[in-house]
Chains A and B, each alone.
Chain A
Amino acid sequence: MNDSSADTPELASVVHEAHALLERRRFAQAKVVAARGLKHFPDNSELQYITAFAEYAEDDNDAAIKAVEQLLARDPEHYGARTLRAHLHSAKQEFAQAESLWIALLREYPEDADCYAAYADLMLRTLNLDKAARLAREGLRHSPEHHACLYVASLVDLIHGRGDASHLLRLLREHPEHTASSIALVAALTDRGEYRGALRLAQELLRNQPDSEHLVSLVRELKLQSHWTMLPLYPMQRWGWGGAAAVTVAGIVGLRLAGGVLPPALVASLSYTWLIYVIYSWTWPSILRKLI
């Protein structure tokens, strides 16, 4: 390495520039800057990590894994690379491997709220809800306002259907600027059947992050739920399959009872109307989902 050369950039400024680009989500440019730095400082762990992270952020998991493995081969204790490797296993749905990495990290850093939050998120994704709640609680014990732990705790509250919104309120109060806060709020609004409000918020988020697949599908789903043609399906939307079961049973029993009281022509009309409604409820949401 020839630091005295006139062409050699200063390491600190290259790392700073690459980090700044990562923060602005300019991943391609961050990679270019990191690659330029690596020409002069090929063994620099931070630049290698930035390259790996940018690949991960651009969903090129294979390239990210290759970069992370190279970095860990030389610097096996690199914290960022180890957490990134765990995230990469999750992204590839290698959940058991991701879990073992989070456990190893937490044994070394038992007060690291970031690791608790990431492990809790993994548990949510694998339907280990109670453990997700315990991990988020443990993370919050070490860092009471940690945004990712508050996010997981808010989701757990919503899943349990608790009236307690204290975690969500804390998340919104302490981290109003954070995407996770808005996503949790969208989830809470959706849960209460306030689809239009949730849609406006999700659309705002999508404007800020147009490359997010998760947000695109969220907006599409909320557009579907808030479309005016879904109004007749309100019982199904609000109470899910419980509402569908109630409508089915009420329709069948009602028509049977009506058969003994009302004129046959009217019963036939009601039967056809009900049949059309049932077919509509089964088919229209799927058709609309394709149209939106």
Chain B
Amino acid sequence: MNDNIDDLLQPSLGSEAGRETSIYSTTTGYMSAFFGGPLATAGIALMNSYRLKRLGTDWPLGLAALALTLGILWWEVRGGGQEWLIAHLGRKGPSLVTSFAGLATFGVIYAVHRKYYRNMELIGLKAPSGWLPGIAAIVLGAAAWAALAKVLAP
């Protein structure tokens, strides 16, 4: 048996017992993105990466979401962005930008995890319930956004 086959016949599932290794659905990701912004989106994405055992590869997604959040907040709080958004998109302008940034982050994460979502869809794997992690991500993501805005305020 050559090295290639030996490598192919190494266990991939370790000693985990029982659980199906499916990931939280796109619905969970989308809702977290819309209501919780980029940090909530990254939270769900990294939970999925953990389930896929690829946290070592995907951790920069968290950093990118944090950088995007800091960039937007910096512009809003110190660069006059908040006034500009209110003038052009109304009172809810800043919160809309949070949602849009969340959706943009979700788009990037969807592209990274697309093959797993499609795998689940084609094989008919059921996603775990996303209610609790989704709500937790939204609450923590929104809280982190507000806390960072306070820290950055002049």
The answer to whether the Cβ of B151 comes within 8 Å of any Cβ in the partner chain is no
Contact pattern, B 12-49, Cβ under 8 Å of A = 1, otherwise 0: 11111111111100110110011000000000000000
Given A159-B118, A244-B30, A245-B107 in contact, is the A123-B52 Cβ separation under 8 Å? no
Partner pick for A256 among B14, B23, B52, B89, CB 8 A cutoff: B89
B116 contacts across to A, CB distance below 8 A: 127, 129
Instruction: Decide: A138 and B5 in contact? CB cutoff 8 A.
Output: yes
Bound Cα distance from A180 to B89, whole angstroms = 53
The answer to whether the Cβ of A106 comes within 8 Å of any Cβ in the partner chain is yes
A218 contacts across to B, CB distance below 8 A: 124
Contact pattern, A 154-167, Cβ under 8 Å of B = 1, otherwise 0: 01001111000000
List B98-131 residues whose CB lies under 8 Å from chain A.
Answer: 100, 103, 106-107, 110, 114-116, 118-120, 122-125
Partner pick for B123 among A103, A155, A240, CB 8 A cutoff: A155
Bound Cα distance from A126 to B19, whole angstroms = 9
Q: Which of B14, B15, B18, B90 has most chain A Cβ within 10 Å?
A: B18
Given A125-B125, A126-B21, A155-B122 in contact, is the A249-B8 Cβ separation under 8 Å? no
Contact pattern, A 102-129, Cβ under 8 Å of B = 1, otherwise 0: 0100110010000000000001111111
A252 contacts across to B, CB distance below 8 A: 96
Bound Cα distance from A245 to B115, whole angstroms = 19
Instruction: Decide: B21 and A127 in contact? CB cutoff 8 A.
Output: yes
Bound Cα distance from A242 to B30, whole angstroms = 9
Bound Cα distance from A214 to B15, whole angstroms = 28
The answer to whether the Cβ of B9 comes within 8 Å of any Cβ in the partner chain is yes
List A186-201 residues whose CB lies under 8 Å from chain B.
Answer: 187, 191
The answer to whether the Cβ of B132 comes within 8 Å of any Cβ in the partner chain is no
Instruction: Decide: A95 and B16 in contact? CB cutoff 8 A.
Output: yes
Chain B interface mostly helix, strand, loop or mixed?
helix
The answer to whether the Cβ of A13 comes within 8 Å of any Cβ in the partner chain is no
Bound Cα distance from A124 to B13, whole angstroms = 12
Instruction: Decide: A110 and B123 in contact? CB cutoff 8 A.
Output: no
Given A95-B20, A110-B5 in contact, is the A124-B30 Cβ separation under 8 Å? no
Which 5 A-B pairs give the minimum distances between C-beta atoms? Answer: A96-B13, A245-B103, A159-B118, A241-B26, A241-B30
11 new A-B contacts, CB < 8 A, other than A126-B12, A126-B21, A187-B122, are: A93-B18, A96-B15, A97-B17, A107-B9, A124-B119, A127-B52, A161-B118, A242-B107, A244-B30, A245-B30, A249-B100
27 contacts between A and B (CB under 8 A): A93-B18, A93-B19, A94-B17, A95-B21, A96-B11, A96-B13, A106-B9, A110-B5, A123-B12, A124-B123, A125-B20, A125-B123, A126-B20, A126-B21, A127-B21, A127-B119, A128-B13, A138-B5, A138-B8, A155-B122, A161-B114, A161-B118, A217-B124, A218-B124, A240-B26, A241-B106, A242-B107
